[in-house]
Amino acid sequence: QVTAKTAFLFILPQYNVSVPAADGELVQYHYGLKDLVTILFYIFVAIILHAVVQEYALDKINRRLHLSKVKHSKFNESGQLVAFHLTSLIWCLYVVVTEGYISNPRSLWENYPHVYLPFQVKFFYLCQLAYWLHALPELYFQKVRKEDIPRQLQCITLYLAHIAGAYLLNLTRLGLILLLLQYLAEFFFHMARLVYFTDENNEKLFNVWAVVFVVTRLFTLTLYILVIGFGLPRVENQALEPERGNVFSFLFNNILFRMSVLLLVCLFQASVMWRFIHFQLRRWREYWNEQSSRKRAAAAAAGAKQQAKPLKRDSGYHENGVVKAENGTSPRTKKLKSP
**Closest to 37 measured CA to CA, from 151, 120, 129:** 129
- Tens of pLDDT, residues 200-210: 777 788 889 99
**Closest to 123 measured CA to CA, from 35, 58, 219:** 35
C-alpha distances in Å from residue 121, one per residue of 30, 156, 177: 11, 21, 12
| Backbone φ and ψ of 21, nearest 5° | -140, 175
Q: What is the pLDDT of residue 25?
A: 79
In the chain, the DSSP E strands lie at: 16-21, 24-29, 317-319, 322-324
Mark the ranges of the chain whose per-residue pLDDT is less than 70.
1-2, 236-249, 308-339
Q: What is the pLDDT of residue 338?
A: 43
Q: How far, in Å, CA of 279 to CA of 209, rounded?
A: 13
Q: What is the pLDDT of residue 144?
A: 83
Torsion of CA 6, 8, 10, 16, to 10 degrees: -120
**Closest to 128 measured CA to CA, from 168, 88, 90:** 88
- Tens of pLDDT, residues 135-189: 999 988 888 888 889 999 999 999 999 999 999 888 899 999 999 999 999 999 9
Q: What is the pLDDT of residue 283?
A: 77
Q: What is the pLDDT of residue 246?
A: 63
Q: Is 337 exposed, middle or buried (0-12, 13-18, 19+ CB in 10 A)?
A: exposed
Q: How far, in Å, CA of 70 to CA of 159, rounded?
A: 25
> Which residues, in sequence order, are bridge partners of residue 28?
17
> Which residues, in sequence order, are bridge partners of residue 29?
16, 117
Residues 299 and 284 sit within 8 Å (Cβ to Cβ)? no
Helix (H, G, I), strand (E, B) or coil at 15: coil
Q: What is the pLDDT of residue 69?
A: 81
Q: What is the pLDDT of residue 202?
A: 76
Q: What is the pLDDT of residue 337?
A: 47
Q: What is the pLDDT of residue 241?
A: 66
pTM for the model: 0.82
**Closest to 42 measured CA to CA, from 124, 144, 142:** 124
Burial call 130-165: b when 16+ CB within 10 Å, e when fewer: bbbbbbeebeeebebeeeeeeebeeebeebbebbbe
Helix (H, G, I), strand (E, B) or coil at 72: helix
CB-based contacts of 67: which residues, under 8 Å, 6+ apart? 75, 197
What residue segments make up the domains of the chain, in order of their start?
Answer: 1-294
CB-based contacts of 126: which residues, under 8 Å, 6+ apart? 13, 35, 38, 39, 42
Q: What is the pLDDT of residue 330?
A: 52
